[in-house]
């Protein structure tokens, strides 16, 4: 299973590094509707200042390289977040099971 997980992770990184720089840049479905219906500008002001906007890693001149770097970073960040979350919730499960066993004795 570990090997399978590793292959999927490498595939994800390959998609982020090699395919994402060549993604279509046209507006997505919702942006298109917003554009056609004239309310796209209402989304101009964002509540948050994110460290990376438009999936371009700051400080990298080449746009394709900047996209690839942002993609790889985000892919690893997502893996890390779900992995840690999974660890936390399953360890809580073990605790609650132990508690259950000790109270049933």
- The binding site for other proteins (CB under 8 A) comprises 1-9, 11-13, 15-16, 19-20, 22-30, 32-34, 36-37, 39, 42-55, 67, 70-71, 74-83, 85-87, 89-93
Provide the minimum distance between the beta carbon of 61 and other proteins in the complex, in angstroms, as a whole number.
19
| Cβ-contact 67, 55 below 8 angstroms | yes
Provide the minimum distance between the beta carbon of 70 and other proteins in the complex, in angstroms, as a whole number.
7
| Cβ-contact 79, 9 below 8 angstroms | yes
Provide the minimum distance between the beta carbon of 101 and other proteins in the complex, in angstroms, as a whole number.
14
Q: Please, which residue, 50 or 101, has the CB nearer to other proteins?
A: 50
45-77: b (≥16 Cβ within 10 Å) or e: eeeeeeeeeebebeeeeeeeebbbbbbbeebee
Q: Please, which residue, 44 or 105, has the CB nearer to other proteins?
A: 44
Element holding 72 (H helix, E strand): helix 63-104
């Amino acid at each position: 299973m570990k090997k399978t997980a590793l292959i999927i992770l490498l595939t994800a990184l390959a998609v982020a590094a090699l395919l994402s720089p060549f993604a279509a840049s046209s507006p997505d479905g919702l942006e298109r509707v917003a554009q056609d219906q004239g309310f796209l500008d209402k989304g101009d002001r964002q509540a948050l200042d994110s460290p990376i906007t438009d999936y371009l890693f700051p400080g990298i001149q080449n746009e394709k390289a900047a996209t690839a770097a942002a993609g790889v970073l985000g892919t690893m960040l997502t893996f890390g977040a779900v992995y840690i979350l999974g660890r936390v919730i399953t360890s809580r499960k073990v605790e609650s099971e132990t508690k259950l066993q000790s109270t049933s004795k």
